[in-house]
Amino acid sequence: MKPSWKHFYPQIKTAVLNLDSLDSLLQQAVEKIIALYQAECLLWSGLELGVADALRVFTTPATANRYAASLGFAYPPPPLPHWGGTEPHDTAVRQFRPRSLPHWLLDQQNLPQLLQLETGELIIPITNRGSLFESDAAGCTTANSLQFVVQLFRSTAPLPHSTDAPIETSSIAGSTASMTTATNCTVPIQGWSLTELESLEIICSQLGLAYSALYWRQRLEQSRQQAALVGRISHLLNSTLNPDEIVGRIVAELGLGLHCDRSILVDLRHDPVNTLAVWDHPGQELPPLDQRQIRQAYWQNVIEMFMQGGASYLQMGLNEPAADPLQIWLHDIGAQSVLVVPLFIQEQFFGGVALLAYQHQRTYLIDELQTIRQVADQAAIALTNAQHYQRLWRRQEALRMQNNSLQRAILRDELTQLMNRRSLERELEQLSMAAIWSMHPPFCIIVCDIDYFKHVNDAHGHLTGDEVLQEVAQRLQGQLRRGTPAYRYGGEEFVIILTDTPLDQAVEVSERLRRAMRSAPFVTKAGALEVSASFGIAQQDPSCDHSAWDVLQRADKALYEAKRQGRDRVYALETQG
């Protein structure tokens, strides 16, 4: 009869040649071991990473059910049905995440050796070189680091009933020691022949070597992909895209490159939290983020930790034993875990990049964390550039209008020669882009309305009204610094956007404009007319404004209040914060 390892070898060879995933390799191996030895099998993987969250157990749901109580699987298998004798068992090998570990597994990390537990399970450790031990150049036996462990159990022996007290996964160590192989083991193994033990040693050795080959190929490919990711994002920073497009592309590239389910970029400086960009994996049907604004209270512990320099990143799972308000948010959006990397803009805390996993809790390796950190730094550069984008855009618009008569005709009001409503809407759109909205210094919007303008039209005719509109436009523009446009919003209403200007300074500008209206009578063909105007002002307030249109609407409310209080006055709406 063909030895067991010869049945196993073609499958291992095919997996390596086809560059199967590591999970696929281990799933196939467990299936083959179960079939060859007619035994229940649990394969403990992720031991070499030394991270508790990386531990996974590959086994069938039926076997997982037997150990569910003692291991506390985070992803419990479905309950076993009542078999009627004809319905087949579910034999598909799946992954399970243990919340606790048996003591023998900790012992294996300290002293890897083939052994049989009192409960009958055969324990076979596998090292990162495929064999249980090796000799160095001087002929001394040295241990390799433990890579994973195969746990076998035959139904002829009594089933385990949690005789080993579990230990928490956070206590995993990474030490190694010398060990004994199957062939020279001094402890008798019950229920397994010497031939089976020898073939198992060969199979485990082959599996370890195949795993190492695929692991390092995968890591090499990941390194190449991560370097390409950083290169693409560097190229984005030098592109002509607007800040919103750049930030959106960075978040998408990060999500694709790190294989997460959803990636977001959040501004954590204000309450509610502002989400600048969201990317969802196209292959996943994720619950929508209905609210782009998230309560800052969920993130408060994270914010304080980053601001105090307590960590360079945070990984948190939904089922972490230490309760945190951010877990409430994870639960609300249906996610299993999140990785948050902070963003600092000119050494000031801004927010973070968050990578979300929805299918199962995700753990990131050191090189992946380094890549995410690099990308976060480049996102910070893109946001820093957004501070200056609006000024640059205005200069470019001015040059385009200067050199393009058609552009001037489209964007200027024919009567007053001020910028028209269409031009104002373009400016508001620019200011409302998420990246600019978060990074641009606070701005104010002034809305001006001519008092009793209907009386002018009714008493003197529309031609005289047009003369008044032209004179108001000239006086407004004459009082504004160069490069600050005034807009004819509609009828007798005008709008001025003061960038980089706090509310108190905007009030001073508005008072100057109001006095300019009253400084001298308006000379018209119908004679000299006394004209006044009312002004409403609002400053951008991230706590209540979601776009520049919100600021304009509040400035309109302020104008209404100025009119209600008697006209020919300035009224400023105080910010909510």
- Per-residue pLDDT reduced to its tens digit, 395-436: 655 665 555 555 555 688 989 999 999 989 988 988 888 888
Which tokens hold the place of 110? 């300290």
Q: How confident is the model at residue 261 (pLDDT cuts 50, 70, 90)?
A: very high
pLDDT tens figures, 198-251: 888 888 888 888 888 888 887 787 788 778 888 888 887 777 778 888 888 888
Query: Which H or E run contains 167?
Result: strand 166-168
Is 31 within the bounds of a domain?
yes
| Weakest-pLDDT range from 12-21, 81-90, 100-109 | 81-90
Is 223 within the bounds of a domain?
no
| pLDDT at 401 (0 to 100) | 57
Kindly state whether residues 193 and 261 are assigned to the same domain: no
- Cβ–Cβ contacts within 10 Å for residue 147, how many? 24
User: At residue 182, does pLDDT exceed 50?
Assistant: no
Is 233 within the bounds of a domain?
no
Kindly state whether residues 358 and 259 are assigned to the same domain: yes
User: At residue 74, does pLDDT exceed 80?
Assistant: no
Is 48 within the bounds of a domain?
yes
Cα–chain-centroid distance for residue 456?
Answer: 58
User: At residue 59, does pLDDT exceed 90?
Assistant: yes
CA pair distance 29, 36, nearest whole angstrom: 10
User: At residue 144, does pLDDT exceed 80?
Assistant: no
Kindly state whether residues 378 and 427 are assigned to the same domain: no
Kindly state whether residues 119 and 8 are assigned to the same domain: yes
Kindly state whether residues 136 and 105 are assigned to the same domain: yes
Counting Cα atoms < 13 Å in the Cβ hemisphere of 193 gives 5
Kindly state whether residues 178 and 279 are assigned to the same domain: no
CA pair distance 250, 240, nearest whole angstrom: 14
Q: How confident is the model at residue 146 (pLDDT cuts 50, 70, 90)?
A: confident
pLDDT tens figures, 275-307: 888 999 998 888 888 655 567 888 888 888 888
User: At residue 138, does pLDDT exceed 50?
Assistant: no
Strand pairing class (273-280; 314-317): unpaired
Is 552 within the bounds of a domain?
yes
| pLDDT at 364 (0 to 100) | 84
> What is the distance in angstroms between the CA of the first residue and the CA of the last residue of the chain?
82
Percent of the chain exceeding pLDDT 70 equals 79
User: At residue 81, does pLDDT exceed 90?
Assistant: no
Which tokens hold the place of 130? 């495929």
Pick from 55-64, 292-301, 325-334, 457-466 the range whose average pLDDT is largest. 457-466
Check whether the bond before 160 is cis (ω within 30° of 0).
no
Domain boundary among 217, 247, 274: 217
Mean per-residue pLDDT, 137-155: 67
| pLDDT at 134 (0 to 100) | 41
Strand pairing class (533-539; 570-573): parallel
pLDDT tens figures, 490-503: 899 999 999 888 99
| Weakest-pLDDT range from 56-70, 167-181, 357-371, 547-561 | 167-181
Kindly state whether residues 263 and 208 are assigned to the same domain: no
Here the CATH number for the domain that contains residue 369 is: 3.30.450.40
CA pair distance 65, 68, nearest whole angstrom: 5
Mention every residue, 6+ apart, whose C-beta is less than 8 A from residue 446: 495, 496, 497, 498, 506, 509, 510, 513, 535, 536, 537, 555
| pLDDT at 291 (0 to 100) | 59
Is 85 within the bounds of a domain?
yes
Instruction: Count structural domains, the chain.
Output: 3
Kindly state whether residues 248 and 147 are assigned to the same domain: no
E-strand ranges in 423-503 read: 444-450, 486-490, 493-498
Kindly state whether residues 411 and 523 are assigned to the same domain: yes
3-state helix, strand, coil split of the chain in percent (to 5) is 45, 20, 35
Which tokens hold the place of 107? 């012992």
User: At residue 34, does pLDDT exceed 80?
Assistant: yes
| pLDDT at 346 (0 to 100) | 80
Kindly state whether residues 175 and 260 are assigned to the same domain: no
Domain boundary among 388, 422, 457: 388
CA pair distance 307, 198, nearest whole angstrom: 57
Residue pair 193/156 in contact (Cβ under 8 Å)? The answer is no
Kindly state whether residues 163 and 244 are assigned to the same domain: no
Mean per-residue pLDDT, 249-268: 89
| pLDDT at 56 (0 to 100) | 85
Residue type, 425: E
Q: How confident is the model at residue 257 (pLDDT cuts 50, 70, 90)?
A: confident
Domain boundary among 388, 419, 437: 388
| pLDDT at 132 (0 to 100) | 46
Kindly state whether residues 267 and 212 are assigned to the same domain: no
For 389-428, the DSSP string reads HHHHHHHHHHHHHHH-HHHHHHHB-TTT-SB-HHHHHHHH
Is 232 within the bounds of a domain?
no
Domain region containing 383: 239-388
Q: How confident is the model at residue 190 (pLDDT cuts 50, 70, 90)?
A: confident
Is 227 within the bounds of a domain?
no
User: At residue 88, does pLDDT exceed 70?
Assistant: no
| pLDDT at 96 (0 to 100) | 86
pLDDT tens figures, 502-535: 999 999 999 999 999 999 999 999 999 999 999 9
Indicate the DSSP class of residue 220. H
The reported pTM is 0.62
Residue pair 121/154 in contact (Cβ under 8 Å)? The answer is no
- Average pLDDT score over the chain: 80
Q: How confident is the model at residue 172 (pLDDT cuts 50, 70, 90)?
A: very low
Here the CATH number for the domain that contains residue 464 is: 3.30.70.270
